[in-house]
Structure formats: C-alpha cells, structure tokens
Amino acid sequence: MNRNVIIADRAVNAMERIIRHLQGASLIGAEKAKDEMLSRIRDLGRNAAPGDSRKARFDSVSGDIRSVLAHNHRIYYLVEDQRISVLDVILDAEIHSVDSE
C-alpha cells in the first residue's frame, strides 16, 4: 500500500541542522547523509514497517510510532491509514555513545 509521506516542520529543521553540521566536516559526506535520509523517508511511503524498523513507545503519545535508521540518525514517524508523518530526526545514541573513563 502506497501512503503519502508528510514531513513535520520539526523533522525538516532537524535534518537541515544535521546537514549543516556535517558540512563542516565534509560536503560530500553531508550530501550522502541527506540522500540517505531522504531515500529512507521516501521508502516509508511504500513500506511503513521495514524489517529494521523499531516500534517506539512514548507515555504521552498514542498511535503506531516507529523509527528507522538512516546515516547514523534515527527517523521517528507516525503510521496512519493513508499517510506517514515524519515527526523528528535525531542522532542515534546507540551508535554514537562514548564510554566514560
């Protein structure tokens, strides 16, 4: 089932901030990250629950909220009957955690 994909302002702002930050280290890396995130978001319209997605649980928010990983960033989205709403994009803490000495 194909669904429309809507990207919330919060997610757009997060992706712009991520890309600007990555551009400081590498323009090519930032472009690759942007392409990977947008590709994953487009794919959600065709498959709302890919094999690597996770069910997210929030105390104050109901609904089928899931997340997928794209270029070390986790994309959170709400699955609805006719659409996917991308809610936020954050750095995946599991990948970038640093052990304290």
pLDDT in tens, 64-74: 999 999 988 99
pLDDT digits (tens, 9 = 90+) for 15-48: 999 999 999 899 998 999 999 999 999 999 999 9
Give the residue with greater pLDDT, 70 vs 98.
70
Query: Domains in the chain, start-ordered, CATH in brackets?
Result: 4-91 (3.30.2310.20)
**To the nearest whole number, what is the mean pLDDT of the chain?**
88
DSSP 8-class letter at 12: H
Structure tokens at 23: 């551009």
Could you tell me where the beta strands, DSSP code E, fall in 46-97? Answer: 54-55, 64-70, 73-79, 83-91
